[in-house]
Structure 1
Amino acid sequence: MPSATSPDPFGEGLTAATVRICDAVTAVSASNPVVVIDGRSGAGKSSLAARVARAWPLSTPVQLLALDSLYPGWDGLERGADIARENVLRPHGRGLIGIWRRWDWELGEEAEAHAVDPALGLIVEGCGALTLASAALADVTVWVDGPSASRRQRALDRDGDGFRRHWDMWAAQEDAHIMRHEPQRLARVSVLTP
């Protein structure tokens, strides 16, 4: 846990969480482990996933899929998680190439397709990513959360006015996901950011 007097308690917390996740990946003893990172908006999921990808403890590279790339619009949290599970996680678990299409947020439609190699490790991160079904396809499961005011400030600093007008609708979808799937209970690693 970072100290309250640290100049960067958020960064220190993510560094400590990265070590825990990498240790869990190493303990899996697989060449292509799957890490699923879920949590509330602005909690630090994307930053944590990027850190884990950079610190990946295996000799083979890891693939990183951010659900922000495939949610079909601002009301698409559940649908995006379903797409990731069915088109990426299930094929990966069966040793098959997964295919997902990037969502073009400006045009409001699917764009180019991307392949996911089942021989390589995979990190899937995003709100809604962790359910009972996706946990069964993952080797390491992670829940990231933090105080509402801090999360909102980080999210709006990151995404600006584009997110501001959608914050309440998105938070309601997160609430529904948490009530329905209890992702915090499915997580092997829990991370609380300041």
Structure 2
Amino acid sequence: MPSRSNDPVAQVLQRAAAGILDAVVAVAAANPVVLIDGRAGAGKSTLARIVAANWPLAGRPQLIALDSLYPGWDGLDAGVERALHDILRPHARGLLSTWRRWDWEQETEAEASAVTPALGVILEGCGALNPATARIADVRVWVESPEAPRKRRAFERDGDGFRPHWDRWAVQEQRHIDRDDPRALADITITVP
């Protein structure tokens, strides 16, 4: 999976994805759980998509973004708790489960999606890696990046929708980092320029 891009971010993410895929194979399970955590704009979603697109096991992994679970701009912890309760714990027990997408425009829960225990799960988003989730994950990833490029990437991706909420979201991210120390829980740490 060599990168043909001259973009240093793309190159780092391609190399990181290769390492994650090697770790997935090393787990020797048909349905491993991969957690990808990091602050806004660090590259988590792009990395998760690369890993999903190159999944080395039979069946497609279930790629779930915590952005789909956070109940609004003050909901980092609540979204992670929903992921743990509705996705990760049932998957670990071999149970079929469902989770409901958060509709950001309507500010309410929307359609439900099923999670089958027969397939792997990639859960990405800030807060994904904490002591409770780490215990039931197979591959734990922390993505870091300096604030200025993260902010630029986040605003390029989300535009003015994110701009007024950056500081309020950053407070929740920092609380998660201080409380849960996701970097210390990670098997793989990636630094994105």
Contact kept? 1:96, 1:118, Cα under 8 Å? yes
Question: Is 1:143–1:190's contact at 8 Å kept on the other side of the alignment?
Answer: yes
In the alignment, structure 2 segments of 5+ residues that lack a partner are: none
SS of the aligned residue for 2:81 comes to helix
1:7: Cα distance to partner?
2.8
Residue 110 of structure 1: aligned partner: 109
Tell me how many residue pairs correspond in the alignment: 189
How far apart are the structure 2 equivalents of 1:61 and 1:68?
Answer: 20
Shift of 1:99: 1.1
CA distance in 2 between partners of 1:78 and 1:152 (Å): 21
> Counterpart in 2 of 1:80?
79
Aligned identity (percent) is 60
Q: State the alpha-carbon separation in 2 of the partners of residues 43 and 124 from structure 1.
A: 15
Q: In the alignment, does 2:129 pair up with 1:130? A: yes
Task: Measure the CA separation in 1 of the matches of 2:61 and 2:156.
Answer: 28
The residue identity in structure 2 corresponding to 1:71 is: Y
Instruction: Say what the alpha-carbon RMSD is for the aligned residues.
Output: 0.8
Query: Which residue does the alignment assign to 1:21?
Result: 20
- Letter in structure 2 aligned against 1:116: V
How many angstroms does 1:59 deviate by?
1.9
2: CA distance between counterparts of 1:162 and 1:61? 31
- Tell me if structure 2 keeps the 8 A contact 1:68–1:126: yes
TM-score, scaled relative to structure 2: 0.97
Letter in 2 for 1:136: R
**In structure 2, what is the Cα distance between the partners aligned to 1:127 and 1:28?**
24
Distance 2:136 2:81 in 1: 13
Q: What does residue 189 of structure 1 align with?
A: 188
Structure 1 residues 54-91: Cα deviation after superposition (integer angstroms, max 9, x where no partner):
01011222110000011100000010011001110000
Partner residue, 1:55: 54
Q: Quick one: distance in 1 between partners of 2:140 and 2:81?
A: 17
Could you report, residue by residue, the CA deviation over 1:76-109 in whole angstroms, capped at 9, with x for unpaired residues?
0010011001110000000001211000100000
Give the whole-Å Cα distance in 1 for the aligned partners of 2:22 and 2:186.
15
Q: Which residue of 2 aligns with 1:3?
A: none
- The superposition leaves residues 103-155 of structure 1 with CA deviations (integer Å, 9 ceiling, x where unpaired) of 01000000111110001011000001100100011000000010110000000
What amino acid is the match of 1:161?
A: D
Map 1:150-161 onto structure 2 (within 5 A).
Answer: 150-161=149-160
1:172 alignment counterpart: 171
Please, which runs of 5 or more residues in structure 1 have no aligned partner? Answer: 1-5
**Structure 2 residue matching 1:160: 3-state secondary structure:** helix
Whole-angstrom CA distance in 2 between matches of 1:39 and 1:7: 24
2:64 corresponds in structure 1 to 65
**Residue 141 of structure 1 aligns to a residue in which SS?**
strand
Give 1:16's aligned amino acid: R
